[in-house]
Amino acid sequence: MIQCIKEQGLDLSFGGTKENNNYPLMQMCVDTYFAQRKPLQALTLLHNYAWIMSSETTAFQERYDFNIDEWRAKFRQLCLEYFGDSRTQFT
């Protein structure tokens, strides 16, 4: 994540713009964490990505092909794959 901030220009500024390069950069960091076999970091960042993206307008989400229901299904599957728990039940 630090490398993305330094080298790619991730500025962690969200909202109020029609386009935001931070989202593709965050996804790139998620992919890098998975490639480095760091699923906890990847899933934590992916969760934050969705949390921030969910505060954007519907039009913005559509431009970035974000659908919360699809994200939830993907997140559950990744949690199940990497941690053996789909994170859908509280115990």
> How many other CB atoms are found less than 10 A from the CB of residue 63?
14
Query: If we measure between CA atoms, which residue out of 22, 25, 30 comes closest to residue 55?
Result: 22
- Is residue 2 predicted with pLDDT exceeding 60? no
Q: How far is CA 77 from the centre of its chain?
A: 14
**Average pLDDT, stretch 51-63?**
91
- Is residue 25 predicted with pLDDT exceeding 90? no
**pLDDT digits over 66-87, tens only?**
999 999 999 999 999 999 887 7
Beta carbons within 8 Å of 60's beta carbon, 6+ residues apart: 18, 20
Amino acid (1-letter code) at residue 30: V
Per-residue pLDDT band at 23 (split at 50, 70, 90): confident
User: With contact defined as beta carbons under 8 Å apart, do 10 and 22 qualify?
Assistant: yes
What is the predicted pLDDT for the residue at 12? Answer: 60
What is the predicted pLDDT for the residue at 86? Answer: 74
